[in-house]
Amino acid sequence: MLQDILDTAKEKMKKSCEVYERDLMGLRAGRANPKLLDRIMVDYYGTPTPIPQVGNISSPEPRLLVIAPWEAKLIPQIEKAIQKSDLGLNPSNDGKIIRLVFPELNEERRRDLTKVASKGAEETKVAIRSIRRDAIEQIKKLKKNSEITEDDQRDAEEDMQKLTDKAVKDVDEIFAKKEKEIMEV
C-alpha cells in the first residue's frame, strides 16, 4: 500500500521532469534543432499533424533547418504554421523545400530565454511539491485509518522527501544544462 503511493508519486515526478525537458527543447537557443518543429501543427487533409510527419527535416548548418515536405502543395501551409508559431522565424522556400535561418542571439534575448527556462523550472518544482503533498496526505490517511503504524508513516514520509529532493535536483540539472546552452551559443 505504502509502496504503491511512493511508486505513483515517483512516476508523476519523473513525468513532470520529462515535460519540463520537452518544453525546453522548444526554447530556441540560437542553434537549429529539428525538435523545435515537433509541436507545430499543419493542416494535412483536415487533420492537425506535426511538421515532422509531413516532411523530412534536416540541419545542414548549425543555424539552418531545411524542411522537405513529401507533398509540394503543403509548402504554403507549413510556412503559415511556422509564421503563426512563437518561434519568430520567417521561412523561405524555393518551391521544393523550406529554409529556416536562425539569427544570432543577442544578450537581451539570451537573458529572456534564461528567464523563461527558470520560470518553467520553478513551475515544475511547484508541481513536484504538490505531488509530495498529495502523497503525504494519502500516507496520513492510512495512519488515521490505522492501516499503518507511526513508524511506517515516518519512514514513508522520509522516503517521499528523498524522492522530492531527487526530482528537484533533476530539474535544477536540466535548467543548468539549458542555461549553459543558451549562454554558449
CATH number of the domain that residue 69 is part of: 3.30.1360.40
Overall residue count recorded for the chain in this entry: 185
- Provide the residue range defining the domain that includes 21: 2-25+106-184
CA distance 26 to 19: 11
Residues 55 and 116 in one domain: no
- The pLDDT score that the predictor gives to residue 134 is 94
Query: Are 117 and 175 part of one and the same domain?
Result: yes
Provide the total of helices (H) and of strands (E) in the chain, helices listed first.
4, 6
Nearest-angstrom CA–CA distance, 39 and 141: 41
In which residue ranges of the chain is pLDDT below 50?
none
Give pLDDT, residue 96: 86
Residue 29 confidence (pLDDT): 61
Number of domains comprising the chain:
2
| Beta bridge partners of residue 44, listed in sequence order | 47
Q: Which tens digit of pLDDT belongs to each residue from 102-129? A: 777 778 778 888 888 899 899 999 999 9
| Residues 66, 116 within the same domain | no
E-strand spans in 15-174?
41-44, 47-50, 55-61, 64-69, 92-93, 98-101
Quick one: 10 and 40 in the same domain? no
pTM: 0.69
- Asked whether residue 40 falls in the same domain as residue 16, the answer is no
Asked if residues 44 and 54 have their Cβ atoms less than 8 Å apart, the reply is: yes
CA 107 to chain centroid, in Å, comes to: 23
pLDDT at res. 62: 79
Largest CA distance in the chain: 72
- The rounded distance, in Å, linking the Cα atoms of 158 and 136 is 10
Q: Among 54, 75, 101, which residue terminates a domain? A: 101
Q: 53, 72, 101 — which closes off a domain?
A: 101
Predicted local distance difference test score (pLDDT) of residue 33: 75
